[in-house]
Chains A and B, each alone.
Chain A
Amino acid sequence: MSSAAKPSLTLDSDAARRPRRLGASGVLEVAGLYAALILVLIETLYPLLWVLFGSLKTKEEMLSNIWGPPSSLVLQNYVDAWRIAGMGSRIVSSVLVTGSALIILVVVATPCAYALARLRFPGRGLVLAVAVAAMLVPPQVMAIPLFMVARDLGLINNRLGVAFVYAATSLPLSVFILRSFFVTLPADLEDAARVDGASRLEILIHIMLPLVRPGVALIVIFGFIEIWNDFFLAFLLLRDPSVQTIPLGLVSFFQQYDSLWTLYFAALTITTLPVIVVFLAMQRQFIAGLTAGAVKG
């Protein structure tokens, strides 16, 4: 641990000088802090900007002007990339797979999480223990038998079938997160509805679900990033090019046409930019969603 903490120590001592004295050294302090942050900014964002610049250059300019912005905007790169990489059908596949998987996930995980949080029944402890244990078994380690099972069920190259597999892999963590939301709700609401004769299902749908909407949003965002971006399971289960998702399409485009740099950058921009824009628009929810496993676990 001590070796792990060392570099952080120096970082802290640099920054911690600020509150001690005001005046010139304080200004230096702040300047140093922001210089470091701007360095992080460049390290993170410049590569992405570089891709955006590259996607708008001609192939010749790509070599002569490596660093800077493009001298003219070659939008034709986008048209060509869209056509050659078959972006349209990849996007349809990705939307289909991710959308169905998220619907399945929410429909299946919500009643399960509700039952685990609010109902008392024999075997509840066991179900909970299985969910926790499953979080320690990443689906990647059972990729080969998973492939066999999917093949036996005729789900290879079947986008809806793969959606079920994705829903299953996100299930344990989602149930766990949702359950922690259900647990915090007051019992009075439910009891009042019970006295009025509402069934458990009615209570779940009409009373509890609106209250755990933030929890549902968390698992949807978490699942969206995982499934939309996934390469491994898609590579395993979607072998036919006509049903392949965006990450698979990018890789095969890259492998077939690796000299078409500018088109390549255009394809990368088309697929990356929308997610980044959505992220910037919904930052708070995204960060909460992606770190939910840490906070709730």
Chain B
Amino acid sequence: MTTRSQEPTAPRSDPWRFLAGDGAVAFLMILPAAILFCLFYLWPFVNGFWLSLHNWDGFSDPTWAGFSNYTRLAHDRIFLGALRNNLIFVVAVVILKNMLGLGLALLLDRALVGRAFFRAAAFVPVTMSFVAVGLLWSWIYNPVFGLLNGALDLFGLGGLKQSWLGDADIALYSIIVVDVWKWLGFHAVIYLAGLQTIPSELYESAKMDGAGPLQRFRHVTIPMMMPIVFINTILGLSGAFVRNFDIVYVLTKGGPNHATEVVLTYMMSKAFQDGAMSYAAAIGYVLFLIVGLASVGLLAMMRRQRLDI
């Protein structure tokens, strides 16, 4: 559309004219990005696979190991536990962020006065670092003077007090709550934008047909919001798989007794505490395969849904 390679050349004689052809210019414009990408994206990606097929502590000579790192992973109880925790984490946060995010968006959509204020307030945690959020919540969960146990006492629910991060049965769920708290505003804002694109005529004609609020939600809001639900799910999903290291590290470091271990925390401790670099690289690759398959599957589903609508 913008190609002008056959046009008469500009009257002045330009020593750099050979660059005027789009191919050469495009090459030069993409080159810096390509170098950066190859160095810090493509090379590690390829090198990681090579690494995972060897045994290496990072210093001595690597020795060929075939797929033994992967077969060892399949029998590594801590790894399998971490994978399980990771999947629980992903499923829980994706469902909660979508449900609560849509709920909050519906509230915000109806708030005619002060909507911008409430929206901004809900968005504040999104701008905070995982570290700040994690440290804040480690004080909220503090069994001695933390806010949560204090609040339970205040409402006469002292019997529900817990060691929120110290109890292996609930620590993972405590962390899930923190992640949902941080991201809720983000998903709500995306849902709110989606809600505002639904034409009000649809609601009015549904009302004329005698549809109550529940039916209008079921037959107008939900179908119209399906693309947004997919977007939120994809964003939540890819984030939940790989953006949980900070929060777990700050809150529990994977403890107590690996109860909150996720794939990334295990990978990092294998690499930097046990010096098992190639084993850790294999863990990273398994995680990549899972995230990649989940994303591709969701994208394929999304494409099919769009065709149906």
Contact with B45, one of A16, A111, A145, A204 (Cβ below 8 angstroms)? A145
| Interface residue tally on A, bucketed by range | 35 or more
A200 to B249, CA, bound (A): 48
Chain A residues contacting B242 (CB-CB under 8 Å) are: 138, 140-141
List the B side residues contacting A85 at CB < 8 Å: none
Q: How far is the CA of A80 from the CA of B240 in the complex (A)?
A: 36
Q: How far is the CA of A119 from the CA of B217 in the complex (A)?
A: 45
Whether A142 lies near B44 (C-beta < 8 A) is: yes
Residue of A nearest to B105 (CB): A8
* CA gap between A116 and B22 in the complex, in Å: 11
Chain B interface mostly: helix
Complex Cα gap A200–B44 (Å): 33
Kindly identify, within residues 189 to 218 of chain A, every residue whose CB is under 8 Å from any CB belonging to chain B. 190-191, 194-197, 199-201, 204
Chain A residue numbers with a CB within 8 Å of B127 are 225, 275-276, 279, 286, 290
- Choice from B30, B135, B185 contacting A254 with Cβ under 8 Å: B135
Residues A136 and B22 in contact in the complex (CB < 8 Å), given A144-B284, A164-B36, A291-B186: no
Could you tell me the distance between the alpha carbons of A50 and B141 in the complex, rounded to whole angstroms?
A: 13
Partner of B264, one of A140, A168, A228: A140
Bound-state CA distance A66–B268 (Å) is: 36
User: Once the chains bind, are B284 and A141 in contact (CB under 8 Å)?
Assistant: yes
B268 A143 Cβ-Cβ under 8 A: yes
**Which interface class (under 10, 10 to 19, 20 to 34, 35 or more) fits B?**
35 or more
Measured in the bound complex, the distance between the Cα atoms of B100 and A236 in whole Å is: 34
Q: A residues engaging B (CB < 8 A)?
A: 1, 4-9, 11-13, 15-18, 33-34, 36-37, 40-41, 43-45, 47-48, 50-51, 54, 62-63, 66-67, 104, 107-109, 111-112, 114-116, 118-122, 124, 127, 130, 134, 136-149, 153, 164-165, 167-169, 171-172, 175, 187, 190-191, 194-197, 199-201, 204, 225, 228-232, 235-236, 246-247, 250-251, 254, 261, 264-265, 268, 271-272, 275-276, 279-280, 283, 286-287, 290-291, 293-295, 297
